């Protein structure tokens, strides 16, 4: 762990190369972070720069297309999870039941490449395993996207092993819940503002993420991502060169009975008034559609019931996502 009082950086390569006792010690540090802010940067991930660069530059080229060209990949109806979502079509604050103006952003979203064999649940097939609506430009977009998605799936599984050790569980404890994850990748474009925003409007409303964890790649040097600290004050999350930002989602908070924090976060308009566009990638790691999330035994308090009833991963995700659509 690198020393940073405000935002810690975890070295994944050091953990994976460590002895059992070193792994336990590093896991304890992750446990302490997840009990407080639930946000950390992950370095030492080993992800090839070429995969990141290809996905980033093709997304940038897509967002630079004329609106009518981007609309060729438009989600076919409100609440459809994948494809292009245009400006002001989503309000993330609504996932918490907060009435808020639409967010100042647009996005492209993609899901799993295929459904697992034998899956018959029509809700799963029609939502998490629905086809991604691919754009016809730029060249190489789909291939770059799929390579990055696959790399994120692998990285998320590695981080989940860290989380298992941090919770004093066998390192592969979460593997059965992740045999066919219903994760989603989102490329986000926060355009430069040509006019003042509506009252109360920001780039992404305050929300928690819905799944097990999120892996965020923010634009180098960008500003605006903030988390709500334990003292109730908003804290800016700085991009870290060569590192991904990882945060805990709602289902991990359910699993850990709130021992770990699903931290409220938002993207505000920075001091320059939004004069610069901002891009980011967010990989939302989500357990299997039918995975039942029940409070873990090590996280229960003696003589107290769990804070949450059991919940199924996929239907929980679907209900949250649809609540944000404008």
State pLDDT tens for residues 100-128: 899 999 999 999 999 999 999 999 999 99
pLDDT in tens, 161-211: 999 999 999 999 999 999 999 999 999 999 999 888 999 999 999 999 999
- What residues have CB less than 8 Å from 242, skipping those under 6 apart? 43
DSSP states along 247-313: EE-HHHHHHTTTSS----EEE---TT-S-S-EEEEEEEE--BTT-EE---GGGPPTT---SS--EEH
Is 285 in contact with 212 (CB distance < 8 Å)?
yes
Q: How far apart are CA 228 and CA 264, in angstroms?
A: 6
Q: How far apart are CA 146 and CA 129, in angstroms?
A: 15
Q: CA-CA distances (angstroms) from residue 181 to 41, 88, 107, 129, 152?
A: 23, 29, 21, 10, 12
Query: pTM of the prediction?
Result: 0.94
Among 274, 282, 214, smallest CA distance to 250 is for 214
Is 2 in contact with 9 (CB distance < 8 Å)?
yes
């Amino acid at each position: 762990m690198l020393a940073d009082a405000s935002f810690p950086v975890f070295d994944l390569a050091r953990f994976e190369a460590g002895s059992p006792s070193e792994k336990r010690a590093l896991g304890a540090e992750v446990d302490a972070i997840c009990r407080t802010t639930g946000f950390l940067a992950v370095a030492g991930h080993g992800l090839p720069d070429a995969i990141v660069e290809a996905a980033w530059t093709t997304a940038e080229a897509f967002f630079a297309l004329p609106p009518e060209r981007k609309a060729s990949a438009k989600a076919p109806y409100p609440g459809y999870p994948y494809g292009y979502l245009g400006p002001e079509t989503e309000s993330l604050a609504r996932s918490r039941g907060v009435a808020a103006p639409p967010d100042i952003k647009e996005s492209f979203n993609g899901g799993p490449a295929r459904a697992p064999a034998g899956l018959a649940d029509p809700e799963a097939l029609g939502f998490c395993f629905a086809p991604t609506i691919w754009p016809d430009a730029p060249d190489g977009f789909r291939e770059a996207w799929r390579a990055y998605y696959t790399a994120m799936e692998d990285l998320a599984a590695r981080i989940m092993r860290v989380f298992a050790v941090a919770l004093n569980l066998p390192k592969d404890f979460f593997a059965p819940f992740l045999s066919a994850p219903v994760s989603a990748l989102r490329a986000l474009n926060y355009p430069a503002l040509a006019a003042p925003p509506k009252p109360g409007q920001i780039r992404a409303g305050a929300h928690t993420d819905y799944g097990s964890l999120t892996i965020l790649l923010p634009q180098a040097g960008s500003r605006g991502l903030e988390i709500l600290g334990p003292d109730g004050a908003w804290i800016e999350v700085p991009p870290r060169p060569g590192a991904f930002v990882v945060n805990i989602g709602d289902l991990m908070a359910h699993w850990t009975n709130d021992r770990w924090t699903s931290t409220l976060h938002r993207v505000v308009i920075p001091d320059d008034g939004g004069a610069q566009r901002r891009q980011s990638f967010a990989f939302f790691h989500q357990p299997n559609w039918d995975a039942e999330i029940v409070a873990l035994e090590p996280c229960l308090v003696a003589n107290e019931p769990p804070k949450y009833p059991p919940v199924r991963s996929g239907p929980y995700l679907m209900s949250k996502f649809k609540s944000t659509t404008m």
